[in-house]
Amino acid sequence: MDADVKALEEQLAEGRGVLSALTEGLKKLGDRLAAERTQLAASDKQRGEAQIDLRTMLTQIEHSREKLNRSRTERESQAAQRELEELRKLVRDREDELTRVETENAGIRASIETVEGEHKRVQEELNAKKDDLESKVAQLEADKNQKGGGRDAIVKRLPPVLYRRYEQLRTKRGTAIAQTTDGTCKACNMALPPQLFHKLRREPLIDQCPSCYRIIYFTPPEPAQKVE
């Protein structure tokens, strides 16, 4: 009975471990998403600024062209042409920058999409595992109550000294009970003193293994299977 509850509790602990690993993974993905979204916002801002700059420069180019058309002297004309050249160079630089920012921007968007997909997948796995674990916890509680209810009744019938010894052994060794069939303790595999083994076999009584101190009793060997 206690071994069953222990096995269920171990299963539960393992489930909780998986769950906390998934939660941690999810948090890392969430952090990465937040960082990349911040990066994207900065990139969007840079792109917007470059676009505004470009429009302003194109308007300035229009003005320079008009100035060139209106110029009456060679000097005026040359000055307007130089201005136009300067502006065209600035426009080319800004256009290059815009291309670079847009490439970077597309990269960040693609990465965000990938991470979002991964985040969604882990979230779904976590939800499924959580449901699974919750039903296991409910099952364990039900089992414990059922087994525990029966257990309480059994404990009341045991001599207190024996029950205390049982609980001490269970805490220390995991299991408190051992059987013997052939003169060795099935828990620790040590040979029992012959007199003890004879006594256990002859009378329906319990004693303690002198090696591991588990509560020990005799079980007859399995009857040999009849071969047909």
What is the SS3 assignment for 217?
Answer: strand
Residue 211 touches Zn ion, criterion: CB under 5 A:
yes
Q: How many binding residues for Zn ion (CB under 5 A)?
A: 6
Reported for 42-49, long-range contacts at CB under 8 A and 24+ positions apart, including other chains, are 43/101, 43/104, 43/105, 43/108, 44/105, 46/101, 47/98, 47/101, 47/102, 47/105
Residue 215 touches Zn ion, criterion: CB under 5 A:
no
Stretch that binds Zn ion, among 52-60, 114-122, 155-163, 204-212 (CB under 5 A): 204-212
Bridge partners for 180 per DSSP: 218
Residue 209 touches Zn ion, criterion: CB under 5 A:
yes
- Closer residue to Zn ion, CB minimum distance, 42 or 188: 188
- Closer residue to Zn ion, CB minimum distance, 52 or 217: 217
Smallest separation, CB 228 to Zn ion (Å): 37
> Taking Cα atoms as reference points, which of 143, 218, 137, 141 lies closest to residue 177?
218
Place of tokens 């071969």: 227
Which residues from 124-163 bind Zn ion, rule CB under 5 A? Answer: none
DSSP states of 127-182 as a string? HHHHHHHHHHHHHHHHHHHHHHHHHHHHHHHS-HHHHHHHHHHHHHHS--EEEESS
Which one-letter amino acid corresponds to residue 12? L
Residue 208 touches Zn ion, criterion: CB under 5 A:
no
Smallest separation, CB 174 to Zn ion (Å): 13
Residue 176 touches Zn ion, criterion: CB under 5 A:
no
- Closer residue to Zn ion, CB minimum distance, 80 or 212: 212
Stretch that binds Zn ion, among 2-10, 100-108, 112-120, 185-193 (CB under 5 A): 185-193
Could you tell me whether strands 215-218 and 177-180 are parallel, antiparallel, or unpaired per DSSP bridges? parallel
Residue 22 touches Zn ion, criterion: CB under 5 A:
no
Smallest separation, CB 148 to Zn ion (Å): 27
Residue ranges in contact with Zn ion by CB under 5 A: 185, 187-188, 209, 211-212
